[in-house]
């Protein structure tokens, strides 16, 4: 069943997109065998190039600087920054700062690589906030688990949080952050938990079954601006999109952010080895279109997007994030588009894997079963959604059952 007419379905074409990319970004590398292999970003950019996304007339590829200590201190504590520098220079662990664990092994050049990721996302924020570009994207960003004083969950510096803090420092009064990674966006939530100027919405697998163990509906923050949708394992496209429809549009419409920041972890896919949701490339692509439309409807088109998690390096991440780049550029890729032979050969040479032949998992359109169609008390997803709506909707003057 389709969503009601009031729900966003598409965004205007020919949106100006600025992409912040530098080959040095793949130096954010925890080493052989680590799940966060930078080849996923390398393959994404190669696929986007082969499909012509990066050559569109409304897409600009831009340079940027690494984040300096002043920028990083907007979120991170000085002793932690010093520890990252020391560990990255010596290769020695700093366990009290979460550096040297199996999740966050130390690597030479770690500070420089991490600061470069943060700098790209701050540059994206500056491009949008100053009006130079309508949309901006750092596909290597989205390191949402890093905390003020420690690394966590493959994340050293929290680039989305640093970018949001930069926006607040430069005059933004309302910023919305929507995180659709399968893992809770705990670091961004923590950074702004007591700040009602920032609305954080995270849609993730329940912390009862997945790292980081946070993200329950009762974590509501200042004036209900911390929003968590904790979905049961096995949730697929249609119920996931129903949860999105029930939470994200009504809250963004009420909050009216000046800027929308989004994190697009691809690890909710059924093939991802580290989690238990069952989304498809097509379901994730649908979510990107909804977020794009909401950026235009609620934030004047000001949209800053990042990558995030995603550990199926060849079959999932490059296709999903190429769809994100194309959507942000205002020209979605038709789902059944073949992947270029040159790209498949490049993927084989880089990974010794056989790459997918089409940009779809087989579903051209995933329809949204809107929350307005009625609550199903027998549905675990509906129960999870209602718990979130009851926790935060009254704080925003919304009825948990009707949005009114």
* Predicted TM-score (pTM) of this structure: 0.96
pLDDT of residue 4: 34
The percent of residues above 90 in pLDDT, for the chain, comes to 94
pLDDT tens track for 69-103:
999 999 999 999 999 999 999 999 999 999 999 99
Q: Is residue 402 part of a domain?
A: no
Structure tokens given for 192: 């702004």
pLDDT higher than threshold 60 for residue 203: yes
Q: Is residue 1 part of a domain?
A: no
pLDDT of residue 404: 78
pLDDT tens track for 254-301:
999 999 999 999 999 999 999 999 999 999 999 999 999 999 999 999
Binning pLDDT at 50, 70 and 90, where does residue 11 land?
low
Q: Check if 145 is active-site.
A: yes
pLDDT of residue 12: 53
Q: Is residue 146 part of a domain?
A: yes
Query: Which domain CATH number covers 51?
Result: 3.40.800.20
Q: Is residue 325 part of a domain?
A: yes
Rounded distance, CA 116 to CA 41, Å? Answer: 14
pLDDT tens track for 20-54:
999 999 999 999 999 999 999 999 999 999 999 99
Residue whose structure tokens are 């790459």: 355
Rounded distance, CA 310 to CA 41, Å? Answer: 10
How far, in Å, are 35, 159, 310 from residue 40 at the CA level? 10, 18, 8
Residue 404 DSSP SS3 = coil
Q: Is residue 117 part of a domain?
A: yes
For 331, residues 6+ apart whose C-beta sits below 8 A from its C-beta are: 13, 14, 53, 56
Average pLDDT over residues 163-187: 98
Identify the residue with better confidence: 8 or 211. Answer: 211
pLDDT of residue 364: 76
Mean pLDDT of all residues belonging to the chain: 95
pLDDT higher than threshold 70 for residue 14: no
pLDDT of residue 333: 97
pLDDT higher than threshold 70 for residue 373: yes
Cβ proximity of 369 and 1 under 8 Å = yes
Q: Is residue 8 part of a domain?
A: no
Among residues 135, 145, 183, 269, the one annotated as catalytic is 145
pLDDT higher than threshold 90 for residue 9: no
Structural domain that includes position 392: 17-396
Q: Is residue 75 part of a domain?
A: yes
Q: Is residue 12 part of a domain?
A: no
Cβ proximity of 306 and 142 under 8 Å = yes
**Cα dihedral across residues 14, 361, 249, 211: positive or negative:** negative
DSSP tally for the chain: helices H, then strands E: 11, 8
pLDDT of residue 15: 63
User: What's the structural domain count of the chain?
Assistant: 1
pLDDT of residue 282: 97
Binning pLDDT at 50, 70 and 90, where does residue 8 land?
very low
Rounded distance, CA 27 to CA 29, Å? Answer: 5
pLDDT higher than threshold 70 for residue 5: no
pLDDT of residue 403: 82
């Amino acid at each position: 069943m389709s969503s009601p007419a009031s729900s966003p379905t598409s965004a205007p074409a020919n949106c100006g997109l600025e992409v912040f990319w530098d080959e040095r970004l793949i130096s954010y590398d925890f080493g052989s065998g680590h799940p966060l292999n930078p080849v996923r970003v390398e393959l994404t950019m190669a696929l986007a190039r082969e499909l012509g996304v990066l050559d569109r007339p409304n897409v600009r590829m831009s340079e940027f600087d690494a984040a300096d200590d002043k920028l990083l201190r907007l979120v991170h504590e000085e002793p932690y920054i010093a520890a990252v520098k020391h560990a990255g220079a010596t290769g020695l662990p700093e366990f009290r700062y979460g550096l040297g664990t199996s999740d966050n092994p130390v690597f030479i050049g770690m500070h420089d690589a991490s600061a470069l990721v943060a700098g790209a996302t701050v540059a994206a924020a500056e491009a949008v906030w100053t009006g130079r570009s309508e949309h901006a994207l750092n596909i290597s960003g989205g390191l949402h688990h890093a905390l003020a004083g420690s690394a966590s969950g493959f994340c050293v510096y929290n680039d989305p949080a640093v970018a949001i803090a930069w926006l607040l420092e430069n005059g933004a009064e309302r910023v919305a952050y929507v995180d659709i990674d399968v893992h809770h966006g705990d670091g961004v939530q923590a950074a702004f938990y007591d700040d009602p100027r920032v609305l954080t919405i995270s849609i993730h697998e329940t912390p009862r079954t997945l790292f980081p163990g946070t993200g329950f509906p009762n974590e509501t923050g200042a004036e209900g601006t911390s929003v968590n949708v904790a979905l049961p394992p096995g949730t697929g496209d249609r119920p996931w999109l129903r949860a999105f429809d029930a939470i994200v549009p009504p809250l963004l419409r009420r909050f009216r952010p000046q800027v929308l920041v989004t994190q697009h972890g691809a690890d909710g896919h059924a093939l991802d080895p580290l989690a238990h949701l069952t989304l498809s490339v097509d379901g994730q692509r649908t979510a990107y279109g909804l977020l794009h439309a909401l950026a235009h409807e609620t934030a004047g088109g000001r949209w800053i997007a990042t990558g995030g998690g995603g550990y199926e390096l060849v079959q999932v991440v490059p296709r999903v994030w190429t769809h994100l780049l194309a959507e942000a550029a205002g020209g979605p890729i038709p789902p059944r588009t073949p992947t270029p032979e040159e790209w498949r050969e490049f993927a084989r040479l880089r990974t010794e894997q056989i790459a997918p032949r089409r940009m779809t998992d087989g579903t051209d359109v995933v329809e949204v079963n809107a929350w307005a169609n009625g609550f199903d008390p027998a549905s675990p997803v509906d129960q999870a959604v209602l718990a979130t709506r009851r926790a935060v909707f009254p704080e925003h003057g919304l009825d948990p059952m009707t949005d009114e």
